[in-house]
């Protein structure tokens, strides 16, 4: 067990505590990596996003995907954080009662209400189970007055044993029985940029993702709207996350992997709805919304090309070294 990175809680629940996101330092009002003074920058950014969307005649929603500690903090084996000081909770309080008017979609309290009736997160992973993802999806649809796709609740699932992200950090690795759901039935992915190809290539291990851009089209969707979604791995480009659920809900769904908004893209695609989604553990860095999708994608392609070139060089060196040893 890598104790500095994960914490083994009660009943086999694993929690991310460290790593590059300094998770446990985010639950402090006046210190750590995300005090209230920094959260005010998030509040101001969300308010500005809402203002700009209103000026364009576009509906807007912002949701924070809560850290598992925020929802299942009562499963801590030893006190690590005060879950009631979670960034999502403190940020909502900073709106002073006007959070919904700014597009805020609260996931924390609805998830806490249901956490003991159904597991909303995998015990050995940082992400939602299908039930957790469906709950977030329904709350988002309610906030945006979208008609949810009722068929999503009846999608077949595939059960398997798998080593998830936190389970893989244990020694020995921790296996978990999970259920994978393919939410896509009618939506067609009509576009994926080069970054998506890199993301889906096992060579890169999924760590090149910012700037991934996909477009889904669905003529059978219950809502004849175009949605532009900026998000992270809770949304993703695959068939098992929030992006896929929204692709089954809207006539057109555009997803961009980014914590920041590309306003040029917003003006170009003219969506009916803009959604920004961010994992709570990534909130230590406030947004600046100066993201440029084209530039980000170019940077990622260059990074992938350099990585492939380095891999070829290592293979060539290995062959030369082997020949030299055989010759000796």
Question: Would you state the structure tokens that stand for residue 173, as one six-digit string?
Answer: 């690795």
Neighbours of 92 (CB within 10 A): 21
Considering the domain boundaries, does residue 55 fall inside one?
yes
The reply to whether 327 falls in a domain is no
The CA distance from 228 to 252, in Å, is 9
User: To 5 degrees, how large is the angle CA 83–CA 86–CA 91?
Assistant: 150
> Is residue 328 assigned to a domain?
no
Task: Look at residue 169 and tell me whether its pLDDT is greater than 60.
Answer: yes
Average pLDDT, stretch 291-319? Answer: 87
The reply to whether 119 falls in a domain is yes
Asked whether 10 and 75 are in contact (CB, 8 A), the reply is: yes
The backbone torsions φ and ψ at residue 326, rounded to the nearest 5 degrees and listed phi first, read -70, -35
Q: Is residue 326 domain-resident?
A: no
DSSP state string for 213-258: EEEEE-TT-SEEEEEEEEE-TTT-SSSSSHHHHHHTTEEEEEEEE-
Q: What pTM value is reported for the model?
A: 0.93
List C-alpha distances in Å: 154 to 149, 181, 184, 233, 296: 10, 10, 12, 23, 37
Contact 260, 291 (CB under 8 A): yes
For the chain, the average pLDDT equals 94
Tokens (6 digits) for 205: 């291990």
The whole-number pLDDT of residue 327 equals 67
Total number of domains in the chain: 1
Containing domain of residue 277, as a range? 6-319
Give 195-247 pLDDT, tens digit per residue.
Answer: 999 998 887 767 889 999 999 999 999 999 999 999 999 999 999 999 999 99
Does the pLDDT at position 146 exceed 60? yes
CB 25 within 8 A of CB 33: yes
**Could you tell me if 297 and 84 are in contact, meaning their C-beta atoms sit under 8 angstroms apart?**
no
Q: Is residue 1 part of a domain?
A: no
Q: Is-contact 311 204, C-beta < 8 A? A: no
Q: How far apart are the first and last CA of the chain?
A: 44
Predicted confidence at residue 280, as pLDDT, reads 97
Match 């600046």 to its residue by tokens: 288
Is 325 part of a structural domain of the chain? no
Indicate whether 325 pLDDT > 80: no
């Amino acid at each position: 067990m890598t104790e500095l990175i994960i914490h083994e809680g009660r009943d086999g629940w694993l929690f991310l505590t460290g790593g590059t996101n300094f998770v446990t330092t985010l639950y402090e009002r006046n210190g750590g990596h995300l005090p209230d003074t920094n959260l005010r920058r998030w509040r101001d950014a969300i308010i500005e996003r809402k203002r700009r969307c209103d000026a364009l005649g576009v509906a807007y929603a912002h949701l924070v995907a809560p850290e598992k500690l925020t929802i299942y903090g009562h499963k801590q084996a030893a006190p690590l954080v005060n879950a009631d000081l979670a960034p999502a909770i403190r940020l909502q309080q900073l709106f002073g009662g006007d959070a919904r008017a700014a597009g805020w979609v609260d996931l924390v309290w609805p998830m806490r209400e249901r956490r003991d009736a159904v597991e909303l997160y995998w015990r050995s992973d940082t992400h939602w189970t299908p039930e957790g993802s469906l709950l977030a999806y329904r709350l988002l649809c309610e906030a945006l007055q979208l008609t949810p796709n009722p068929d999503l609740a009846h999608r077949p699932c595939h059960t398997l044993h798998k080593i998830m992200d936190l389970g893989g950090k244990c020694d020995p690795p921790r296996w978990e029985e999970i259920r994978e759901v393919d939410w896509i039935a009618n939506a067609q992915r009509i576009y994926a940029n080069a970054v998506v190809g890199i993301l889906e290539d096992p060579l890169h291990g999924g760590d090149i993702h910012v700037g991934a851009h996909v477009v889904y089209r669905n003529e059978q969707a219950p809502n004849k709207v175009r949605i532009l979604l900026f998000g992270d791995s809770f949304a993703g480009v695959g068939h098992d996350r929030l992006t896929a659920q929204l692709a089954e809900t809207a006539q057109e769904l555009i997803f961009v992997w980014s914590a920041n908004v590309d306003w040029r893209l917003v003006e170009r695609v003219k969506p009916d709805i803009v959604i920004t989604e961010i994992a709570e553990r990534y909130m230590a860095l406030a947004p600046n919304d100066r993201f440029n999708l084209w530039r980000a994608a170019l940077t990622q392609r260059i990074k992938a090309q350099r990585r492939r070139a380095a891999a070829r060089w290592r293979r060539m060196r290995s062959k030369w070294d082997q020949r030299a040893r055989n010759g000796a």
